[in-house]
Amino acid sequence: MLLSQDQLAEYNENGYIIIKNFLTNDEIECLLSENDEQTHLNKFKHSRKDTNGKESKISLWNHPSDNIYGNIARSHKLVDRVEELLGGEVYHWHSKMMLKEAKTGGAWEWHQDYGYWYNNGCLTADLASCMMGINHSTKENGCLQVLKGSHKIGRIDHGEVGGQTGANKERVQEAEKKYEKVYVELDPGDALFFHSNLLHTSAPNESEQSRLVLICCYNKKDNSPFIENSGHPKYTPLVKINDDEILSVIKV
């Protein structure tokens, strides 16, 4: 299950890689069942408005729970690959389920994740995220868009954009001239691993199909926040589980 040298080179060059069929069908079904119950998600749910006032719903938590979300976040197949990409031990930074509802789901403005996390006291951009498609992510329902290779720019200043935090618009406009825009369309179970400085956005959902993705984010052990009470956890060892244990949370 290790990444190939070609995949590592692709990540370093482009700021992301896509792995098809990363989650199994059974894992996706378990996630959909848990989402329907909303027991976990309701504890952490909030929304953010884009510049046009449309909302996208998000549930975000810092510590992996003993459920399907937490088991995926602790799994060897996910954590081991992030450790390969970052070159060392990582810990769980946060996870989030993002729901962009049909017809009403809003946009996410251009930003870098490190544009947020810099202010949490992480000295370097040694963080990475994995976005996993739970249903189909398409251009029509507002899939992620990335500027290929834009992680090489380094951190861009961020500020308030609508009800969100976005990257400096002038810098983004210049980046769009230089870097190719890629629409990251995902089938259920596909996974996008991406650098914390990769510029990304998503359009509003004007289709009849909602867009549902799970994102697990990780920080390198030696990049633990130096700011006290930063809003994110300092390094705590992440206890990995075997991939065949991910579905152990299913009630029999």
pLDDT digits (tens, 9 = 90+) for 83-112: 999 999 999 999 999 888 888 888 888 999
Out of 1.20.1420.30, 2.60.120.620, 2.60.120.10, 3.50.50.100, the CATH code matching 5-221 is 2.60.120.620
- Mean pLDDT, residues 141-150: 97
* 117-126, 173-182, 184-193, 225-234: the lowest-pLDDT one: 225-234
pTM: 0.93
Q: Where are the domains of the chain?
A: 5-221
pLDDT digits (tens, 9 = 90+) for 157-215: 998 776 677 899 999 999 999 999 999 999 999 999 999 999 999 999 989 999 999 99
217 CA to centre of own chain: 6
DSSP string, 1-43: -PPPHHHHHHHHHHSEEEETT-S-HHHHHHHHHHHHH-TTGGG
Count other C-beta atoms under 10 Å from residue 12's C-beta.
14
230 CA to centre of own chain: 20
Length of the chain: 252
